[in-house]
């Protein structure tokens, strides 16, 4: 049985709030609950804050800044902060994913526009450089070298495209349909990963040679029976996955060992907020002093 971490709830009207202890802890940000975005202690599992802004996607950088993608805007929050420190504007709408280049701090955001569908903000600021991924883009992720990957569809086929660091053009890659429905793309510290969003859930680790993608390993979650999940987040030897127990709305947040997978180790309990959750994803925000 997975350990259940009870989360003490707090009611506060009129805006975002954050407990003073939050800034000194590693945090999980989960948009789609707690009045906007739930903020939890990554170790103790208790609720330490709530942002009154939600988002369709969330990501973080290596110093703990958190980015919430909202339609045609991206809000940046400092680690443990209750107010945004910057708002970035997309030249389109329906922002669906984001990722930060660990080597430069550049922020990539997938959106819907007229032609171009990927915006890259230099050092997560200013006016973005725009790119066309050559596919119907959904999600994105940088590797450790600053190469940007985007997945989605090409017609009815699953598709993956890559923007090499320093290049002005995306190139389509050849992938095996067995990798599953396009989902989260993330660097796990050794490999790029590709999350299948439908049952059976798995996270594939892959390498690229020329235009060919090779799967070098896969993490499976034997006790996760949901028909689909939303965007996961890998941090070290842990992976966090929002998922539905029934239906299509993600009302649970679980933790598994990574890359081992297998059985869930922790199920987070959102207390009185549980029934109102419609989680859109999760990200891990480190304190920045590690």
Residue 254 has pLDDT above 90, yes or no: yes
Residue range 161-189: mean pLDDT, rounded: 96
CA dist 144 and 113 (Å) reads 28
Nearest-angstrom CA–CA distance, 195 and 285? 20
pLDDT digits (tens, 9 = 90+) for 110-131: 999 878 999 999 999 999 999 9
What ranges do the domains of the chain cover? 3-285
Q: What is the pLDDT of residue 22?
A: 95
Q: Over 50: is that where the pLDDT of 8 sits?
A: no
What is the pLDDT confidence band of residue 228, given thresholds at 50, 70 and 90?
confident
- Provide the pLDDT for residue 101: 98
119, 130 Cβ separation under 8 angstroms: yes
**Does the structure show a pLDDT above 90 at 6?**
no
Confidence tier at 270 by pLDDT (50, 70, 90):
confident
Mean pLDDT of 245-265: 93
Classify 3-285 by CATH class: mainly beta
**Is the pLDDT confidence value at 17 over 50?**
yes
Q: In this predicted model, what pLDDT tens digit does every residue of 93-102 receive, in sequence order?
A: 999 999 999 9
Coil, helix or strand for 110? Answer: strand
* pLDDT at res. 3: 53
Question: Averaged over 166-182, what is the pLDDT?
Answer: 95
pLDDT exceeds 90 at position 13: no
CB-side neighbour CA atoms (13 Å) of 96: 20
User: Does the pLDDT at position 10 exceed 50?
Assistant: no
Give 36-85 pLDDT, tens digit per residue. Answer: 999 999 998 889 999 999 999 999 999 999 999 999 999 999 999 999 99
Q: Is pLDDT at 4 greater than 70 in this prediction?
A: no
- Percent share of the chain, pLDDT over 70: 94
Kindly tell me if the per-residue pLDDT of 248 is higher than 90: no
Above 50 in pLDDT, residue 14? no
Return mean pLDDT, the chain.
92
The CA distances from residue 65 to 178, 254, 290, in Å, are 34, 22, 14
Question: What pLDDT, on the 0 to 100 scale, is given for residue 15?
Answer: 85
pTM of the model: 0.94
Number of H helices, E strands in the chain: 0, 26
pLDDT at 20 over 60: yes
Report in angstroms the alpha-carbon separations of 93 from 33, 75, 230: 22, 14, 20
SS (H, E, C) the chain: CCEEEECCCCCCCCCCEECHHHHHCCEEEEEEECCEEEEEECCCCCEEEEECCCCCEEEECCCCCEEEEECCEEEEECCCCCCCCEEEECCCEEEEEEEECCCCCCEEEEEECCCCCEEEEHHHCCCCEEECCCCEEEEEEECCCCCEEEEEEECCEEEEEEECCCCCCCEEEECCHHHCCCCCEEECCCCEEEECCECCCEEEEEEEECCEEEEEEEEECCCCCCCECCCCEEECCEEEEEECCCCCCCCEEEEEECCCEEEEEEEEECHHHHHHCCCCCCEEECCCCC
């Amino acid at each position: 049985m997975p350990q259940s971490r009870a989360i003490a709830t707090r009611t506060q009207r009129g805006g975002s709030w954050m407990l003073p202890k939050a800034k000194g802890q590693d945090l999980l940000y989960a948009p789609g609950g707690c009045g906007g975005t739930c903020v939890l202690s990554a170790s103790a599992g208790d609720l330490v804050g709530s942002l009154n802004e939600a988002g369709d996607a969330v990501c973080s950088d290596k110093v703990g800044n958190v980015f919430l993608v909202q339609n045609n805007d991206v809000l940046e929050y400092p680690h443990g902060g209750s107010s945004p420190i910057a708002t970035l504007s997309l030249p389109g709408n329906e922002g669906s994913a984001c990722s930060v280049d660990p080597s430069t701090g550049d922020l990539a955001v997938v959106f819907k526009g007229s032609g171009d569908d990927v915006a890259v903000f230099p050092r997560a600021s200013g006016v973005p450089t725009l790119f066309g991924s050559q596919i119907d883009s959904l999600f994105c992720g940088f590797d450790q070298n600053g190469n940007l990957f985007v997945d989605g569809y090409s017609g009815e086929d699953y598709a993956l495209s890559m923007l090499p660091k320093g290049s002005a053009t995306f190139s389509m890659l050849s992938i095996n349909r067995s990798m599953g429905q396009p989902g989260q793309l993330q660097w796990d510290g050794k490999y790029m990963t590709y999350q299948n969003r439908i049952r059976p859930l798995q996270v594939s680790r892959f390498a690229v040679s020329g235009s060919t993608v090779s799967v070098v390993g896969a993490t499976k979650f034997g006790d996760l029976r949901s028909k689909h999940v939303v965007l996961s987040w890998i941090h070290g030897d842990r992976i966090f996955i929002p998922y539905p127990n029934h239906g299509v709305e993600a009302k649970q947040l679980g933790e598994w060992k990574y890359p081992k997978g297998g059985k869930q180790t922790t199920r987070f309990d959102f207390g009185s907020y549980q029934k109102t959750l419609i989680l859109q994803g999760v990200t891990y925000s480190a304190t920045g002093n590690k």
